[in-house]
């Protein structure tokens, strides 16, 4: 009897494996080459023409361009950057040259797109700068009134960059902006993060992390750009190490079994809940409520237990304070849960 039970169990598990494998048996690997002619530079909306159509389970290998239509270049002075920015804005374009959109077949409003970030290889250099104080951009423009820029060249192994003699920063490349289209009829600034993700500037979204974004328009319409070689939480001067990506590898999986109001992410060590609001206080409250609700739903905690655990073991970090909507992300460590 025991042997028969084990055979049935093995057969059931094998059946599940075959069914699970069948869901991705036809997955494809696509290669998409971003060029100045085929990237998206404007507002985010549901009517943008897709550049690539994929199925759930497919992987896309792609690249990205520098900021400002890909025209930001090594060695530019602050005056040259400001002149380029003025030229780009005069055409009605935003700062970001976004690779995409990628249309995911079957994606409908109310679904969730799971984006597995498998690989991100940066280019050879990055640029960091802060605008003149009278532009009122950044976390403390009145304290640092002069514009400033610096080109930073990466080490040969792409693992570090020398900011100046004696200061070496580890590289952790990620896309500052990963967006889906907003709801039909809406036009959203690609520089302002919101429910559709967008300019999150979350430094945790490196290779090995999975991002989950609610779908608001047919096909999802995934776009990525504004790549960073490294960044501190807050991104206080308004830029990170602004870079381009030579090669990124993402897998896209349509999740009709999930419901989300806002993007969230997952790494090997943490669940990462993100919130965005004009007020940093309100962004904090949203992140805290989401963390409490997450712990109640996933771990069966009461509201009081979840609230207390957030105070004892969850880190609430300032994602960025410079993108219109400020960001807070809750870092829930997986290591504290033993079952």
pLDDT 10s digits, 158-194: 999 999 999 999 999 999 999 999 999 999 999 999 9
> Does residue 290 fall inside a structural domain?
yes
For residue 338, the enclosing domain spans 269-339
Task: Please count the structural domains in the chain.
Answer: 2
Contact 177, 198 (CB under 8 A): yes
> Does residue 52 fall inside a structural domain?
yes
pLDDT 10s digits, 92-129: 888 999 999 999 999 999 999 999 999 999 999 999 99
End position of a domain, from candidates 230, 262, 294: 262
End position of a domain, from candidates 229, 262, 295: 262
> Does residue 3 fall inside a structural domain?
no
Helices (H) and strands (E) in the chain, counts: 4, 17
> Does residue 9 fall inside a structural domain?
no
Closest CA to 24 of 251, 267, 260, 210: 251
Contact 94, 254 (CB under 8 A): no
Closest CA to 85 of 94, 77, 76: 94
> Does residue 320 fall inside a structural domain?
yes
Give mean pLDDT, residues 238-254. 98
Closest CA to 318 of 232, 259, 246, 220: 232
pLDDT 10s digits, 16-34: 333 333 344 468 999 999 9
Same domain, 125 and 274: no
> Quick check: bond before 182 cis, omega within 30?
no
Give 286: exposed, middle or buried? Use CB within 10 Å, 0-12, 13-18, 19+.
Answer: buried
pTM of the model: 0.91
End position of a domain, from candidates 218, 242, 262: 262
CATH number reported for the structural domain that contains residue 311 in this entry: 3.10.28.20
> Does residue 11 fall inside a structural domain?
no
> Does residue 13 fall inside a structural domain?
no
């Amino acid at each position: 009897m025991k042997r028969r039970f084990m055979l049935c169990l093995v057969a059931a598990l094998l059946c599940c494996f075959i069914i699970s494998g069948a869901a991705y048996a036809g997955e494809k690997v696509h290669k998409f080459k971003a060029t100045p002619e085929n990237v998206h530079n404007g507002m985010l909306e549901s009517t943008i023409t897709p550049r690539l159509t994929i199925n759930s389970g497919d992987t896309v290998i792609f690249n990205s361009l520098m900021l400002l239509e890909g025209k930001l270049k090594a060695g530019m002075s602050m005056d040259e950057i400001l002149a380029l920015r003025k030229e780009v804005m005069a055409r009605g374009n935003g700062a970001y040259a976004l690779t995409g959109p990628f249309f995911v077949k079957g994606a409908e409003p109310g679904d969730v797109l799971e984006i597995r970030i498998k690989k991100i290889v940066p280019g050879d250099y990055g640029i960091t700068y802060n605008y003149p104080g009278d532009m009122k951009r950044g976390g403390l423009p009145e304290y640092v009134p002069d514009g400033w820029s610096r080109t930073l060249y990466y080490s040969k192994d792409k693992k570090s960059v020398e900011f100046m003699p004696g200061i070496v920063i580890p590289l952790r490349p990620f896309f500052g902006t990963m967006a889906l289209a907003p709801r039909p009829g809406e036009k959203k600034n690609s520089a302002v993060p919101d429910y559709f993700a967008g300019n999150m500037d979350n430094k945790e979204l490196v290779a090995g992390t999975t991002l989950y974004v609610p779908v608001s328009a047919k096909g999802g319409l995934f776009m990525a750009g504004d790549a960073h070689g490294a960044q501190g939480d807050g991104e206080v001067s308004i830029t990170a190490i602004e870079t381009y990506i030579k090669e990124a590898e993402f897998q896209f999986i349509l999740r009709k079994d999930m419901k989300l109001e806002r993007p969230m992410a997952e790494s090997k060590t943490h669940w990462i809940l993100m919130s965005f609001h004009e007020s940093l206080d309100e962004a904090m409250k949203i992140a805290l409520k989401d963390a409490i609700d997450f712990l109640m739903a996933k771990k069966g905690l009461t509201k009081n237990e979840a609230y207390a655990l957030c105070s004892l073991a969850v880190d609430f970090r300032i994602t960025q304070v410079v993108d219109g909507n400020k960001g807070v992300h809750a870092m829930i460590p997986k290591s504290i849960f033993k079952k």
